[in-house]
Chains A and B, each alone.
Chain A
Amino acid sequence: MFDTLTLAALPAEDEALRPAIRALAAEAVAARGDAARARSWAGFDAAFSRRLGEAGFLGLTLPRRYGGGERGPFARFVVVEELLAVGTPVAAHWIADRQSAPLILRFGTEAQRDDYLPRICRGEIFFCIGMSEPGSGSDLASVRTRAERTESGWRVNGQKIWTSNAMHSDYMIALLRTSGTSEDRHGGLSQLIIDLKAPGVTVRPIADLAGDAHFAEVFFEDVDLPADALIGHEGEGWKQVTAELAFERSGPERIYSSVVLLDAWVRHLQAMGREDSATVALVGDFTARLGTLRAMSIACTARLALGESPVVEASLVKDLGTSFEQELPIAIGDDLAAHPDEPVDAELYRTLLYVTHVAPSFSLRGGTREILRGIIARGMGLR
């Protein structure tokens, strides 16, 4: 079953990007400890994102005429892998590069493409995604924030929540109700690009349990937007969002969230000269599964490269990947504390506890585990 998910190789021309992006990544993390690096795609650094843009590493899959690299999903895989492997702070451009730009390219008008895409590729504008609302989490089709037609465009009222990086973003691509009521479910939803500096927009960061504030609530009070704020087709927001999810769910970020911790632990074991069989087997288990998950993620990327939208396959890789990411801090914590007489340095301890505490979010963001498994079950022919 799911036979299209099959071993694929990264093309040599995309592998060739590795040395340059690796050098930039190394420079970006040189002064950052493991606990900071473990934050990776929650780590905001606008200057680093601009440097990536200048070096041509943003918008890699976009056409050249919009400032993109005109490369395929494999090129993006290589670049993202290098950025995540060492925990660079990629939050600033993350959403724009991963899904807003492909969305605008696919559904936007020529004017919208000309307006946004070159600036995304230069790392000048940052995006967030407005999906969840206080009453709409997994049941996304129940969103109630509305955009009403006005003479000059749209007027938005309502609230989004758990929006990652809204306080640092220039624009939000929001899923809004443009007709009907929440009983109409998937009908009557549209996507609008909201300028977060527009009057009537209020962004309030939400503090999290790890001492950070990476997500926010966003309030819209009579926010007037021009007619061309609509992206794609009115009433087709649900379809557009679904297409976006294959980009969102299959990437290396779904397997590497705990990799900085994994590496810190391996260095600890090497420094301690640890050779006990339980620990060595655990290292082997993680290595085998990481290698397999990486191959699965590349297999999914290969489907994207063929122009498919592998929503079910991406869900499968994400669920398995996030389970692995979540298991790492638990097992590493057990291993370290199973050797209570061995010194654990402060940075490794902080990194372990940071990853331990945020790990539950790995299977929430981008679609919860339970929702993804429902998608997989439907893909298996279960109803």
Chain B
Amino acid sequence: MMDHDALLSPFERMLETVAAPAAVRAVEAGGDTDAMWDAVAGSGFLDALVAEAAGGFGLPVAAVQPLWQALGRHAVPLPVGETMIARALLADAGAPLPDGPVALAVAAPGQTVVVPLGLVARHVLVEQDGRLALVAADGAEATGVARSLAARMRWDRLDGMLPAPAGGLRALAAVLRAALIAGAADRLVAMTAAYANERAQFGKPIGRQQALQQNLAVMAEEAVAARIASQLGCAGAWPPSLAAAATAKSVASRAATRVAATAHAVHGAIGISVEHDLHLFTRRLHEWRLADGSESWWNRQLGAQRLTSGAGSVDYVRAELAAPA
């Protein structure tokens, strides 16, 4: 079995080099993405989920989850995780693999949807009526949200479609979002604890105030819950079961708003300023929460399935949401 840490460290080092906050800001300001993309593509990780027979690493998604978390931890402004998912789906269907970043979208014909990172994608893998099509990312319109790289996009009825994965593309994207949220939440916990130890008021670091300590402890709990839920989402089958995807995205989305709120509360006014890096992470937490189904959407899916089961609650989660032995 491959040592997953051996995989993560070089990936994380690469991100530290190419996706430092200044580089993230440059992309958000409309700068060129080629250098960052070439570094990521050159690392070979884009084919992490592609089967070995098709020239990929053939990694289980549980091994890829830490890489997705790292993308969140560095606020990487390119659809790297999305491209990993798209390339694996395309390779499975025997379709050619495109160059460049691929975004993911679920949209009925003629429906306008918000596509995360749509402004920096070269292609979009679109699920339409239960079928997939890879289309050029033409006609991406900015959302008008400051610094956001999401795009408003729509497609008429598409041709040449491949079968969608079982459970739909949204479930796969949701599991990715949960991992991104977990990564950014972890970064925010570390940033916020460090800031609380530095910033002094009333003659001592604000981190010595019990009121802040209590809130920071809850923030850490939420971040760990998001991480474990994200791991649950990636622990079993791929594509994930409804329960796995729903749990990952529901718990992570709930954590996203809470972690972002406490991060800002502790940082005070400086955290609202554009100069401070806090918003690189908190803005993304909110975008990812809204993408691919919020906590309530996934809760409804999961609740409906749960109510069809005669099992007790412990048996239900044991059967649906456990790490495989």
A residues lining the B interface (CB < 8 Å): 1-2, 5-12, 15, 81, 84-86, 256, 259, 262-263, 266, 269-270, 274-275, 277, 279-296, 298-299, 316, 319-320, 370, 372-374, 376-377, 380-383
Contact = CB atoms under 8 A, between A and B. Distances in A.
A256 B314 contact: yes
Contact of A294 (B216, B321, B324): B321
A296 B225 contact: yes
B225 A292 contact: yes
B325 interface: yes
A288 B325 contact: no
Nearest to A267: B310
B295 interface: yes
7 contacts: A263-B313, A281-B300, A286-B313, A316-B217, A372-B217, A373-B213, A377-B216
B321 A291 contact: yes
Contacts of A86: 312
Given A10-B325, A288-B246, A292-B229, A259 B313 contact: yes
Nearest to A283: B303
A305 B80 CA distance: 36
Contact of B186 (A1, A7, A279, A382): A1
B314 A296 contact: no
A256 B313 CA distance: 10
A381 B225 CA distance: 20
Contacts of B225: 289, 292-293, 296, 320
A266 B313 contact: yes
Interface string B209-221: 0101110111011
Query: How many B residues are at the interface, by size bracket?
Result: 35 or more
A319 B224 CA distance: 12
B296 interface: yes
Given A281-B299, A377-B213, A287 B220 contact: no
Contacts of A284: 246, 250, 298-304, 306
Interface stretch (B19-27, B49-57, B188-196): B188-196
B317 A291 contact: yes
A381 B229 CA distance: 25
**8 tightest A-B CB contacts, nearest first:** A284-B303, A284-B299, A291-B321, A377-B213, A283-B303, A284-B302, A376-B217, A373-B217
A238 B96 CA distance: 65
A286 B296 CA distance: 12
Given A15-B325, A270-B307, A288 B217 contact: no
B190 A1 contact: yes
Contact of A287 (B186, B208, B303, B323): B303
Interface string B235-267: 100000001001100110010000000000000
Contact of B221 (A9, A290, A376): A376
A163 B39 CA distance: 62
Contacts of B300: 277, 280-281, 284
A383 B115 CA distance: 43
B224 A316 contact: yes
Given A85-B312, A270-B307, A288-B247, A382 B302 contact: no
B306 A266 contact: yes
B157 interface: no
B224 A382 contact: no
Given A6-B231, A7-B232, A7-B235, A285 B250 contact: yes
Interface string B29-52: 000000000000000000000000
